Amino acid sequence: MSVPEATSHGYAGAFRVIPAPASWDVTPNLTDYGATRASFTWEAARAGLEGLPGGGLNIAHEALDRHVAAGRGAHVAIRWLARAGDRRDFTYAELSEQANRFANVLANLGVQRGQRVFSLAGRIPELYVAALGTWKYGAVFSPLFSAFGPEPIKQRLAIGDGRVLVTTSALYARKVAGIRAELAGLAHVLVVARDGEEIPAGTLGLDGLLRAASDRFATAATMPADEATIHFTSGTTGKPKGAVHVHEAVVAHHITGSYALDLRPDDIFWCTADPGWVTGTSYGIISPLTHGLTSIVDEAEFDAEHWYQVLDRERVTVWYTAPTAIRMLMRAGADLARSYNLSSLRFAGSVGEPLNPEAVVWGTEALGLPFHDNWWQTETGGIVIANFRAVDIRPGSMGLPLPGFEVGIVDHREDGGVSVIDRPDVDGELAIRPGWPSMFRGYLGDEERYRKAFANGWYLTGDLARRDGDGYYWFVGRADDVIKSSGHLIGPFEVESALLEHVAVAEAGVIGKPDAIAGNIVKAFVSLKPGFEESDALRRELLGHARQRLGAAVAPKEIAFLPALPRTRSGKIMRRLLRAWELGLPEGDLSTLESS
């Protein structure tokens, strides 16, 4: 190992550079970063896909049909590991037929092209069939987290004007039945019922519909700029944002999967993300299938031993996971990892939250290879900054921009515009030059918010970062108040709104409290209305209320009572100050604090 040159940021000084291996068993897809970046064009990347006659492009065609047409229909596309322990393989031909059936179900129901099909389900095969069938049909797919409670589900279905919802009978009964009357536009609910479960009133059994439908369907002649997918994300204020993605995004999913994850057709690839998060769709469905490889879909939740068993037994070659899970694996100890045969692994990637440099290095001890951190977000649709197999890793850094992406650090000017910071090692907002195919094309129904995400020819990511003298990017923090907890991006406003619905709550302010495993946990501060007294019983009641409304993934884990919450003169809760108090940090500029 070589020692890095001195730089001004702490991490590179504290952790040695992990040099790229000098030789390879399997040559990486990207061997010469500089040369590939210099010669890269998106047109050439598009040529790696087939396209449809007349300039059309459809995600499902690239993911399924072209492999079947090329004689790889018998190759396993998805190996589904059921929670109960059994596994089921879906070949490219089978998955294509199932997707055809789903497209025909939409046609039979009278769904129009461009209408939105939502899913609310765990990682079950029907979710993947619904996604691919929706794209085939030319409708728009929007996956929701099954851990959401009724409130976030209702908001997203309403904003997205969901016409069809694919869910399970259990989730329907628990989370959707009670809000159905408020969703006038939701015409069809298709449920997956297992093991003799009933098909609830007002829904249709998906299994019967699929079986009755034809397995032949001519993929819709979608154009590159046609809407394909909506992913919801959270901002500091207001409702969730529905980021609109188009079919052309598949160009970025494919090429970034090749460069940043080193995917190839003979791989066994495991992306641990749920499709309710953009990673589980871009790299849990689209990218791996466009590469014609075998993708592992594991229905179960995290469990260290189970995960190692999957890596070992399935002979996983490329693994894409997230920091919270890696930290939990670290807690379980490197010995546990070493007790399994992980020799098939060629690459391990991580995304979604800052990956501690210790975790990168731990990978080399436990797995025999480092974790490669990469950065992107819902709005970018695909990986933008990455540590590559063939490039030295600076543990703690997000890596270098992908070929095809111009990334910069910008400073906000008084006039509302931004200026590029040319000097290295200066904190600023991470920005990207628009024009990559998986860039979001709008926030549903919120033109103003979309417009505000751009300035002076840059897309502004909302993240603070710095670039070192060699072009590596380092994450500094969020520029806003959104919270990353176990990989979920949580809007404090959504949590505050749910708490305010409780009869006892006068004010609510929500922050992320640093946590060794989850990155952050959601902590709420509330003040009570006259006549209510703080007590442990009330705290538990509020926690339960929030959990019931929002679901476990979003609800606060801690609640503290305050006599009143700090507000700015304009009446906004000062979350920054709540955070400073919680963490014992300096209070900073209080000039806008409302005096009481």
> Site residues (CB under 6 A) for ligand AMP?
233, 278, 351-355, 373-375, 377-378, 398, 461-463, 475, 478, 484, 489
Q: Identify which of 304, 242, 243 has the alpha carbon closest to the alpha carbon of residue 272.
A: 304
Q: Are 326 and 355 in contact (CB under 8 A)?
A: yes
Minimum CB–partner distance for residue 240 and ligand AMP (Å): 11
Coil, helix or strand at residue 372: strand
d(CA 348, CA 370): 7
Minimum CB–partner distance for residue 107 and ligand AMP (Å): 33
Instruction: Rank residues 78 and 553 by Cβ distance to ligand AMP and give the closer one.
Output: 553
Q: What angle do CA 581, 583, 588 make, to 5 degrees?
A: 55
Minimum CB–partner distance for residue 401 and ligand AMP (Å): 13
The phi-psi region of residue 381 (left if phi > 0; otherwise alpha if psi is between -120 and 50; otherwise beta) is left
Query: Quick one: tokens of 472?
Result: 């590596």
Q: Identify which of 306, 318, 314, 459 has the alpha carbon closest to the alpha carbon of residue 377.
A: 459
Beta bridge partners of 509: 525
Query: Quick one: tokens of 14?
Result: 């504290």
Minimum CB–partner distance for residue 278 and ligand AMP (Å): 5
Q: What is the DSSP string of 147-183?
A: T--HHHHHHHHHHTTEEEEEEEHHHIIIIITTTGGG-
Q: Are 142 and 231 in contact (CB under 8 A)?
A: yes
Instruction: Rank residues 173 and 479 by Cβ distance to ligand AMP and give the closer one.
Output: 479
Instruction: Rank residues 302 and 581 by Cβ distance to ligand AMP and give the closer one.
Output: 302
CA 137 vs CA 130, 132, 141, 158, 216: distances in Å: 10, 9, 10, 22, 12
Amino acid present at 3: V
Instruction: Rank residues 141 and 308 by Cβ distance to ligand AMP and give the closer one.
Output: 141
Query: Quick one: tokens of 55?
Result: 């300039």
Instruction: Rank residues 127 and 398 by Cβ distance to ligand AMP and give the closer one.
Output: 398
Minimum CB–partner distance for residue 233 and ligand AMP (Å): 5
Amino acid present at 152: P
Instruction: Rank residues 57 and 318 by Cβ distance to ligand AMP and give the closer one.
Output: 318
Instruction: Rank residues 102 and 145 by Cβ distance to ligand AMP and give the closer one.
Output: 145
Instruction: Rank residues 258 and 378 by Cβ distance to ligand AMP and give the closer one.
Output: 378
Minimum CB–partner distance for residue 103 and ligand AMP (Å): 28
Minimum CB–partner distance for residue 352 and ligand AMP (Å): 5
Minimum CB–partner distance for residue 91 and ligand AMP (Å): 31
